[in-house]
Amino acid sequence: MKPKSSSSEGRFAYEGLDRVIHERARLSVLTSLITNPKGVAFNDLKQLCALTDGNLSRHLSVLENAKMVEIMRGHDRNRPQTICRITASGRKRYLEYLSTLEQVVRDAAAGAKPDASVSSLLQNLAPSRT
């Protein structure tokens, strides 16, 4: 995604930062689901994202209403099981969101130093290990 060129449009407005995705927990959920295209069991997703049952349920509800995830309820060996999976439209929106984040990092790197690369900017942003 190219940055906007007109100052009236907001050079750094980053319209592609989808508010549904941008919340930390939902970003974690979608990242977990995009790396597991066949789906993730609710309890596994809860652990991957370090969320409580209630928090995960609420964020999944927001993502489901936005048609970004699908939730399938069933049984495994007579035990209830909920599987969560990213939808095709959710995958598309997530990848567009990542593209916008990449532009944010490129813009920040360019502003940090004229010759700064994204990787050098990220190294400078990483917490120091002492």
Q: How far apart are CA 104 and CA 52, in angstroms?
A: 31
Average model confidence (pLDDT) across the chain: 85
pLDDT band at 115 (very low <50, low <70, confident <90, very high): low
Tell me what pLDDT residue 10 has: 78
Among the ranges given (8-12, 28-32, 93-97), the one the predictor scored with the smallest mean pLDDT: 8-12
Q: Where are the domains of the chain?
A: 16-109
Reduced to 3 states (helix: H, G, I; strand: E, B; else coil), residue 81 is strand
Is 50 exceeded by the pLDDT of residue 42?
yes
Q: How far apart are CA 64 and CA 57, in angstroms?
A: 10
The verdict on domain 16-109 having CATH code 3.40.50.300 is: no
What average pLDDT does this structure show over 100-123?
75
pLDDT band at 130 (very low <50, low <70, confident <90, very high): very low
- Pair of tokens at residue 55: 């928090």
Is 50 exceeded by the pLDDT of residue 6?
no
Tell me what pLDDT residue 124 has: 60
Q: How far apart are CA 101 and CA 95, in angstroms?
A: 10
Is 80 exceeded by the pLDDT of residue 113?
no
pLDDT band at 18 (very low <50, low <70, confident <90, very high): confident
